[in-house]
A = this chain, B = another copy of it.
């Protein structure tokens, strides 16, 4: 029984049929079901039968026909020539952190936790061939809901090393659940002379509607572009034609399941990748390749929380952050909470917690000069984060507390495009 085999697993009155995947644990089988999703089944007490053995030949010449005949060809999609370093092509580092898009790669290569090399990547997504020289690297293999600040630091270090070692661009494969938080983290942690492009997949590779190939190919094209920023590259619409390029600090997963779930909040995306023409274009100014030197400041103050205020909220939530370094509040409207909470917030500030206000409206700036509640919050020492998205503000505050002297000023200044609107709430 090998990965790739079609199997049936019976356990505890339930039956799963699908393709056996390589698993990172000894405790369970992972089966890719018909529907395209993976299920983990405990090995303990499970009956497994192989329905069909995998017939898996490496398409070593990348012509897509699955054989390895001796075609002589100058086709530059030829895998062998791509895997051999091509001086005429840029070098792109592919870094995996896990998630649906990485599980695709894993499925075909078996490289779940190990370093994966150029050949693995090209086998997984043959369309990548001929576009770049590739280097592969695994930083984590987690579901992205399990992403944690220390992994952001590992990721920043890995990206930094790759760029230092000559990568002309970096593609980070990441689960979609928390991609916006990780992209924000890298936006603050790294000054980069080359593109750093996050991509992921809303539908796994086995499904006809999978977005993984187009997203991966588009991310590589974006990583070859002139835009030296941290970007998120995902489907721009439900069609397989254009990917959007979002600034890492302004992007949000705005739908649970659609392929075009990711949107730039309050603006058009920074740019697009036309999948068929292989052209990358930008709508607004961006940081050019080589404009800044590579620099990493990846310290984080981890004791920072985000709290969303809703009517009737138990004030005891504020007790949890007693003694914390930072608190981001997701208030209502222009940046408000129930007036009764303000004295408690004032105490937190007095005790040394930096409290930052954002809005659950998501679009538009907070402005606490307008109404009484806001003025009282400012008097209590709360810092306004403009139109910084609440999740981005949390990541930024973790970073600012560890790296900047004036946290208040930093939170009100755009470091990586996170502040977008001008400061007039009644335009």
Which A residues are within 8 Å of any B CB, using their own CB? 35-40, 143-149, 176-178, 181-182, 203, 207, 209, 253-258, 261, 266, 302-314, 316-317, 319-321, 324, 330-340, 359-367, 370-373, 375, 387, 391, 394, 398, 425-427
Q: How far apart are A290's CB and chain B's nearest CB, in angstroms?
A: 32
CB pair B302 A312 closer than 8 Å:
yes
Task: Give chain B residues whose Cβ lies under 8 Å from the Cβ of A366.
Answer: 256
**A365: contacting residue among B36, B256, B316, B337, CB under 8 A:** B256
Q: How far apart are A152's CB and chain B's nearest CB, in angstroms?
A: 8
Q: Using A256-B365, A258-B364 as known contacts, say yes or no to A146 and B338 having CB atoms under 8 A apart.
A: yes
Q: Using A314-B305, A320-B316, A398-B312 as known contacts, say yes or no to A40 and B254 having CB atoms under 8 A apart.
A: no
Q: A302 CA to B305 CA in the complex, in Å? A: 24
Q: Using A256-B365, A257-B364, A320-B317 as known contacts, say yes or no to A311 and B373 having CB atoms under 8 A apart.
A: no
Q: Using A176-B333, A253-B361, A426-B209 as known contacts, say yes or no to A148 and B36 having CB atoms under 8 A apart.
A: no
9 A-B residue pairs with CB within 8 Å = A143-B336, A145-B339, A149-B311, A203-B426, A253-B360, A256-B334, A256-B367, A307-B308, A319-B320
Q: A330 CA to B145 CA in the complex, in Å? A: 12
Copies assembled: 2
CB pair B308 A37 closer than 8 Å:
no
Closest to A300 in B: B312
Closest to A308 in B: B308
Task: Give chain B residues whose Cβ lies under 8 Å from the Cβ of A178.
Answer: 311, 332
Q: Which 7 A-B pairs have the closest CB atoms?
A: A256-B364, A177-B333, A145-B336, A177-B332, A257-B425, A255-B364, A255-B363
CB pair B304 A149 closer than 8 Å:
no
Q: A334 CA to B337 CA in the complex, in Å? A: 28
Given contacts A209-B426, A256-B367, 15 further A-B contacts (CB under 8 A): A143-B373, A145-B331, A145-B337, A146-B338, A146-B340, A178-B311, A207-B426, A253-B361, A256-B364, A256-B365, A257-B427, A261-B363, A304-B312, A306-B308, A320-B320
Task: Give chain B residues whose Cβ lies under 8 Å from the Cβ of A316.
Answer: 320
